[in-house]
Amino acid sequence: MSVSFVLEALVVLGCIVMGTRAGGVGVGLWGGVGTFILVFIFGEAPGDPPAAAIAIILAVVTTAALMQAAGGIDWMVAVAARVIEKRPKQITVIAPLTTFLFCVGSGTGNIIYPLLPVIYDVSYKNRIRPARPLTVTVVQSGIALAASPVSAAMAAMLTLTDVAPYDLGLGQILAITFPACVIGIIVTALVVNRMWKDLDDDPDIQAKIDSGELPAPQRSTDGESAASKLTYTKPGRNSAIVFLLGVVAIVFFGIFPDLRPSWEVEGETVLVDMTTTIVLIMFVVGSIILYVGRPKVSDVPDQSVFKAGMISAIALFGIAWLTATFIAAHEEYIISTIGEWVTSWPFIFALAVFLVAALTTSQSTATRTIVPIGLAAGLPAGVVTGMWAGALGGVYTLPANGTQIAAANFDRTGSTKLGTKLLDHSFFVPMLVLSVTTIVVGAAIGAIFF
């Protein structure tokens, strides 16, 4: 192991830590600082910046923000809430699976915010401990983005695997991540259903009910429910449908690449790549939304989807450029040495993704930081993809995410706790079960079929 490798590795780790402490766009800025040090001080050639991934994020985020400004997210939330209310007794399974599908379709976990009070209301009225469906619903959004064709994490992953020699395209990635995530969610829900005391057996909650601090749990008889209070507009509904059809079109062209346009170059047939396909479809979808949804374009930068997407793009740009520069400079050493470790103990890779996700609370940052190392070390792309999906759940290791805080605040019973010792919060065990299950199932699917 050379001295330069150790020093440059310390620079990479140090910049990731500093970026994590700064948060948000600070992750990207510190990634740029690390790249500057590797280039100007250590004399390494700069790696390729993640232009393709950034292009996907910008196109998707702009279109999704247009859809949100038109009221499309409101329609998605209303539909999800009604699905959840139809089977209240199975809410610990139904709520996270329903929100998973909408996170996949929208490419963001922010969609669960307005659903949290609905989940609390339905579970409490049916005498189900609210922490059970709330925790599983929150932590599933950590891995859902690995199954979304339009998430920033998928944009980062696709640009790494949909190239020679891996040639693992969108269709193959979804064939691994989607079933792995669904199985992980179901297993987690079944485990969480056996955790903690039932609502009627919890003395603290019953004391709140007896004192009048909480109303006694009873189903509404006047037809009013949390879901019925959620409203949406026709333009919002139409915008959401157009956006989801765009997602379907992306998946379709990912599964059937021969249907994409092609041309001859020096006697070889060249297909339009998935980066170009996603960007162009999203631009078309966004233009259609302008007419069917009539969003106010000036409101687009104020949308939560747009703000979160821009932060992800900046963070991804800096950190991906840093890791690309480091890996390009030491690729031979990484393949010959670190490759042996990862080949002997493949789950070291999953642990690395998990830890970076926990530190940065960013799925896309964890993807571009660790996945290139796993691929360069020689792990099969299918196995890397399967473990990557589950390891992204690490974003909920610490109780610092907005969705965790919101869920705890909406739970008036106090059964959903943020804890006082970093790892004693209500989300920790569900997150571990979900991550481990999805990692194992995903790795198995990737190894057997890809």
Tens of pLDDT, residues 54-75 = 888 898 889 989 999 999 988 8
Is the pLDDT confidence value at 398 over 90?
Answer: no
Alpha helices in 303-427 (DSSP H): 304-329, 331-333, 339-344, 347-360, 363-376, 381-391, 402-410
pTM listed for this prediction: 0.82
Is the pLDDT confidence value at 257 over 60?
Answer: yes
Confidence of residue 435 (pLDDT cuts 50, 70, 90): very high
Rounded Cα–Cα distance for residues 435 and 391 (Å)? 6
- The position carrying tokens 């790795």 is 443
Query: By percentage, how much of the chain surpasses pLDDT 70?
Result: 95
Dihedral angle at the C-alpha atoms of 330, 331, 336, 339, nearest 10 degrees? Answer: 110
Alpha helices in 3-151 (DSSP H): 3-22, 25-36, 51-69, 72-86, 91-106, 116-125, 131-144
For 398, the 3-state DSSP assignment is: coil
List pLDDT tens digits, range 274-283: 888 889 999 9
**227 or 301, which is more confident?**
301
User: What is the pLDDT at residue 215?
Assistant: 81
Q: What is the mean pLDDT of the chain?
A: 86
Dihedral angle at the C-alpha atoms of 258, 263, 267, 268, nearest 10 degrees? Answer: -40
Confidence of residue 235 (pLDDT cuts 50, 70, 90): very high
Which token pair is 320? 């991906």
Is the pLDDT confidence value at 33 over 90?
Answer: yes
Which token pair is 158? 């696709």
Confidence of residue 229 (pLDDT cuts 50, 70, 90): low
Angle between helices 51-69 and 363-376 (to 10 degrees): 150
> What's the mean pLDDT in 248-257?
87
Which of 32-41, 127-136, 396-405 has the lowest average pLDDT? Answer: 396-405
271: phi then psi, degrees, rounded to nearest 5: -90, 155
Angle between helices 347-360 and 381-391 (to 10 degrees): 40
User: What is the pLDDT at residue 358?
Assistant: 84
User: What is the pLDDT at residue 445?
Assistant: 95
Q: What value does the CA radius of gyration of the chain take, rounded to a whole number of Å?
A: 22
Is the pLDDT confidence value at 219 over 70?
Answer: no
List pLDDT tens digits, range 86-113: 888 889 999 999 999 988 988 878 778 7
Confidence of residue 391 (pLDDT cuts 50, 70, 90): very high
How many C-beta neighbours within 10 Å does residue 423 have? 12
Q: Measured in Å, how far apart are the chain's first and last C-alpha atoms?
A: 33
List pLDDT tens digits, range 169-196: 888 999 999 999 999 999 999 999 988 8
Rounded Cα–Cα distance for residues 64 and 86 (Å)? 28
Is the pLDDT confidence value at 311 over 60?
Answer: yes
Rounded Cα–Cα distance for residues 267 and 253 (Å)? 24
> What's the mean pLDDT in 193-218?
83
